[in-house]
């Protein structure tokens, strides 16, 4: 969440960010939070004054008794008791106010970077660079569903029998291709890029999703367990970002341990509430899919540079797979709720004749860290231990597996329906270089 003190002191800056996100309807919420901040300040001043009076009067009471001025002492005792009652009332009000302020603050999205491009839709995202050239062929390239079905590696009908729409069964070389991509990603990121691989639970408690910002706003997009687990509401993870970023919640990390770089493979589960259109056919937008996620925990002064490095690590996957792609910078209206800055990597999809997102690489600043109380200890100043500061968090897909399969099938399909395996994946495929249609 945003720093409540910053919000109170800079309401117009926050409102400007909301307008650039096209969330102007939340501006009155900022005014409410400012009013709550003012009320809190007034109550804290009153409480502290009463405490100071109580401490001073308590010392005076004993002296008055010793001097035989019992009546005056009793009057002061009455004032102290009345002050105690008022202090208790103020503290109860402050607790209620803090709860309300926290609940309302969680509805305010992150403050976007001031250099964020203007715009509301993905068409207004800004092209940063592109890589590779879409090939030209003299035959029609079908969608991945048709390619995969004819190869016998993708079966949506049997998946529908098992679980319904937006699930898939991969068979034979298709299943092996999925596994090959996962292992390729992890080996690349842990070997060439220096990440630490982690395996995490696929179910998390409510407070964990609140920490990364999926809750309370996006509860409809999650799969919730019907029964609590270990006494808490529990959800299937929508992305490894959630458990991995929370690994160090409520900790103070030492400076020499940063940045932390984690690579994590998990299945991801999303209800995709409200989604429709062309992406619901096939394996582009599913309820369950696989992804390797890259998560950084950084110091604030290095986080911008680390964000660019993270983008480069995701790009390296596409370059080695020899898939044409482009990098775009999100405009204000396209930024996610939690992100202050974001790049999308978009891979070329021949059947749609356009680039489609395969990775979002986001910079959250201290927005998530404040929710998680995730801090680090800066260098000592004049030999004295420094006060802990909030860390910055970053994450990106490195990459989404299903969408990579779609891109490989469509970009590498041949006129006879066979698909060439990217050279970098051949060792992971046991030497298989081509997926061929089954013999009739």
Distance between CA atoms of residues 183 and 194, nearest Å: 15
Q: Are residues 374 and 227 in the same domain?
A: yes
Q: Are residues 88 and 214 in the same domain?
A: no
Residue 273: both structure tokens together: 């509430």
Instruction: Note whether 223 and 269 are within 8 A (CB).
Output: yes
CATH of the domain at 412: 3.30.930.10
pLDDT of 37-75, one tens digit each?
A: 999 999 999 999 999 988 888 888 777 777 777 777 888
Residue 319: both structure tokens together: 């370059």
pLDDT of 291-339, one tens digit each?
A: 999 999 999 999 999 999 999 999 999 999 999 999 999 999 999 999 9
pLDDT at 278 over 80: no
pLDDT of 122-145, one tens digit each?
A: 999 999 999 999 999 999 999 999
Q: Are residues 384 and 240 in the same domain?
A: yes
Q: Whole-model pTM?
A: 0.92
| Confidence (pLDDT) at 383 | 85
Answer with the one of 70, 105, 140 that is the final residue of a domain. 105
The chain-wide mean pLDDT, for the chain, equals 94
Q: What is the tally of structural domains in the chain?
A: 2
| Confidence (pLDDT) at 226 | 93
| Confidence (pLDDT) at 273 | 64
Distance between CA atoms of residues 14 and 7, nearest Å: 7
Mean pLDDT over 261-271 rounds to 97
pLDDT of 221-236, one tens digit each?
A: 999 999 999 999 999 9
Q: Are residues 60 and 182 in the same domain?
A: no
Q: Are residues 302 and 405 in the same domain?
A: yes
pLDDT of 181-201, one tens digit each?
A: 999 999 999 999 999 999 999
Distance of CA 303 to the CA centre of its chain: 15
Q: Are residues 80 and 145 in the same domain?
A: no
Residue 9 lies in domain: 4-105
Phi first, then psi: give them for residue 195, nearest 5 degrees: -80, 155
Mean pLDDT over 157-178 rounds to 96
| Confidence (pLDDT) at 153 | 98
Length of the chain: 440
> Does residue 114 form part of some domain?
no
User: What letter would DSSP give residue 121?
Assistant: S
pLDDT at 279 over 80: no
């Amino acid at each position: 969440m945003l720093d409540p003190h910053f919000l109170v002191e800079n309401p117009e800056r926050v409102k400007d960010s909301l307008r650039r996100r096209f969330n102007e309807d939340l501006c009155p919420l900022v005014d409410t939070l400012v009013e709550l901040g003012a009320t809190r300040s007034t109550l804290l001043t009153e409480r502290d004054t009463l405490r100071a009076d109580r401490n001073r009067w308590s010392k005076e009471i004993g002296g008055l008794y010793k001097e035989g001025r019992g009546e005056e002492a009793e009057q002061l005792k009455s004032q102290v008791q009345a002050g105690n009652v008022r202090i208790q009332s103020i503290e109860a009000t402050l607790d209620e106010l803090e709860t309300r302020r926290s609940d309302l603050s969680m509805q305010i999205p992150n403050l976007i970077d001031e250099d964020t491009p203007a715009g509301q839709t993905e068409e207004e995202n800004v092209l940063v660079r592109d890589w590779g050239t879409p090939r030209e062929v003299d035959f029609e390239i079908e969608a991945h569903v048709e390619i995969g079905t004819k190869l016998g590696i993708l079966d949506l009908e049997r998946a529908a029998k098992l679980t319904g729409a937006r699930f898939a069964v991969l068979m034979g070389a298709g299943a092996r291709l999925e596994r090959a991509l996962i292992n390729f990603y992890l080996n690349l990121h842990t070997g060439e890029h220096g990440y630490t691989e982690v395996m995490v639970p696929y179910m998390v408690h409510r407070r964990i999703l609140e920490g990364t910002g999926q809750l309370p706003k996006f509860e409809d997009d999650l799969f919730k367990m019907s029964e609590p687990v270990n006494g808490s509401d529990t959800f299937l993870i929508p992305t490894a970002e959630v458990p991995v970023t929370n690994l160090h919640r409520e900790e103070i990390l030492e400076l020499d341990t940063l940045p932390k770089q984690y690579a994590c493979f998990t299945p991801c589960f999303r209800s995709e509430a409200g989604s429709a259109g062309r992406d619901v056919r096939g394996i582009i937008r599913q309820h369950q899919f696989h992804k390797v996620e890259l998560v950084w925990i950084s110091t604030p002064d290095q986080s911008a540079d680390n964000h660019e490095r993270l983008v480069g690590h995701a790009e390296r996957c596409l370059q080695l797979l020899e898939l044409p792609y482009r990098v775009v910078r999100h405009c204000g209206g396209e930024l996610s709720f939690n992100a202050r800055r974001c790049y999308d990597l978009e891979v070329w999809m021949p059947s749609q004749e356009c680039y489609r997102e395969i990775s979002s690489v986001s910079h959250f600043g201290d927005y998530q860290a404040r929710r998680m109380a995730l801090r680090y200890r800066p260098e000592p100043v004049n030999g004295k231990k420094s006060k802990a500061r909030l860390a910055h968090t970053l994450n990106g897909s490195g990459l989404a597996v299903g969408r990579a399969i779609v891109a490989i099938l469509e970009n590498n399909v041949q006129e006879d329906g066979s698909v060439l395996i990217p050279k970098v994946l051949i060792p992971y495929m046991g030497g298989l270089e081509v997926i061929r249609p089954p013999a009739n």
